[in-house]
Structure 1
Amino acid sequence: MSNSSIHPTSIIEQGAKIGNRVSIGPFCHVGSEAVIGDDAVLISHVVIMGPTTLGSGSKVYPNAILGGDPQNTKHKGGHTTLIIGKNCVIREGVTMHRGTDGSLGVTTVGDNCMFLAYAHVAHDCIIGDNVTFSNNVMIGGHVTVGNNVIIGGGAAIHQFTRVGHHAFIGGLAALAHDLIPYGMAIGNHAYLGGLNIVGMKRSGMARPEIHNLRHAVRMLFDRTKPIKLRAEDVRVAFAESAAVADLIGFITTDTKRAYCTPPLDSAIEISDSDDKS
């Protein structure tokens, strides 16, 4: 731990691996199996428990607790891990739990993620890169969140749910079903209210592909056939579109959850008028 700074009030248990240029402020507790990457910062009162890896350049704010035991009665105390990627920002009071010994055994968080105050990541979750959890977001065990997802304040995601990449979940939404890539979920319980057009533009998606997805999603959720059959029709109709192929790949993947769909009494509304690109 060359050139690292550790406040004398902090406890670093023997066996912990501390990288170079790490800053550990007052009253932190780092367990014996923790691995702290280069240039990481623990501001103060941070607890890192069990076999937890914190990626280089990540910054953790007071009262965050990383690597706690999973809140799962099936866990029998076996060796499980939490792996957090590079350059993550973990704000006050955030909690992240390790995996369970009867399941994946690991909770993973990608690079460049931001977790605002009091967000919670449960056991065996897989979080992609460039993901934002706003304040008080909570997700159940075994949730998968794709890259570049934004989750609004106070939202909750049911266990085993998948959230596709570049999706947006509105504040206070309760998501109990799989959300398609680029989808925008709103409401309690959350329904599919359209596509995350802003996220598409920010990702650099070409305008023709945005229009392909608009029309593909209208076709996918028209309720004339079971969704898996409609998915094949969409695949054929948009055979040249990589974005649509990605969407259909998500739909045809085996899942433990149903899909987040538009309300039963209305068709999905994705008007062309809001696309000024």
Structure 2
Amino acid sequence: MTLFSLVLALILEQFRPLNAAKYLHQPLDALGHFFESRFNDGQASHGIIAWCLMVIPPVVLSAVVYWLLYQIHPVVAFVFNVAVLYYTMGFRHVSHYFTRIHAALRAQDLPRARELIGQWRGHLHELSSTQEVTRLTIEQGLVGAHRQVFAIIVLFVIFPGPSGAVLYRMAAHFDKAWGARIGPAIGDFGGFARRAFYYIEWLPARITAMAFSIVGDFEDAAYCWRVQAPEWPDRNEGVLLAAGAGALGVRLGMPIHQSGEVIERPDLGTGDDAEVEYLQSTVGLVRRTLVLNVLILLLLGITRLAS
């Protein structure tokens, strides 16, 4: 049932992509504003209370609903799984910008590519070179594929029903809404959201990095993971990007032009400079990783049936 739920959700998302901004982000933003307006006084303890009241009940409710529906009939529980996965995962969230930036770079329309990567990342990149835009697009593609698909798969398998998918999507959203913010308006309120997502992300990030290594250049991916990942500011993201860079044989990271400033970043990868052709290689790596995930789930299902 796990494998079929995931495959059907991905197929539905490809043929009828969800308007995430309207049906997912808007309700979560409204929920976040509600709790923040009532609990945010800049204290970390109140951030813990708000996060728990906001995230834990939907996670528990999704597990309970799944269990009750399974008692009625497994097919009804299966439909519930597919519905929740459809709302919490999807390649289209990543491929929308990735494909358009790739097309712009192939057409040598650098201004359009800069505009698109700026929209995707939420920063201005009007001074970025073609290689910078390519590096950033690969990085966003790898992290996005993980956070929209591969991490959901891992937690969907581990937790009962679709509760793992609900937990990851809500934790990721409020890490961005609260944990990534700084300043007197937020204070220490978002600290717990940031730490919670780090620990929730820890295992899925390393499983995805291992999958990148298996379907790509394993030796270089393992080396970059071991040596370069600790230098990246976000350790979980560093694991993903270092392993992805090594698996692809491309150099990522490095300084970039962002909002009129030069942002210093560590080097990732030991291969070639990021040329436009590596965008297609990134698509291939992500597709092979998805196939590997499906094969592993299939083997687990066969093993479970055999036992």
TM-score range, shorter chain: under 0.3
Instruction: Please state which structure has a larger fraction of its residues in helix.
Output: 2
* TM-score, with structure 2 as normaliser: 0.23
Instruction: Please state which structure has a larger fraction of its residues in strand.
Output: 1
* TM-score, with structure 1 as normaliser: 0.25
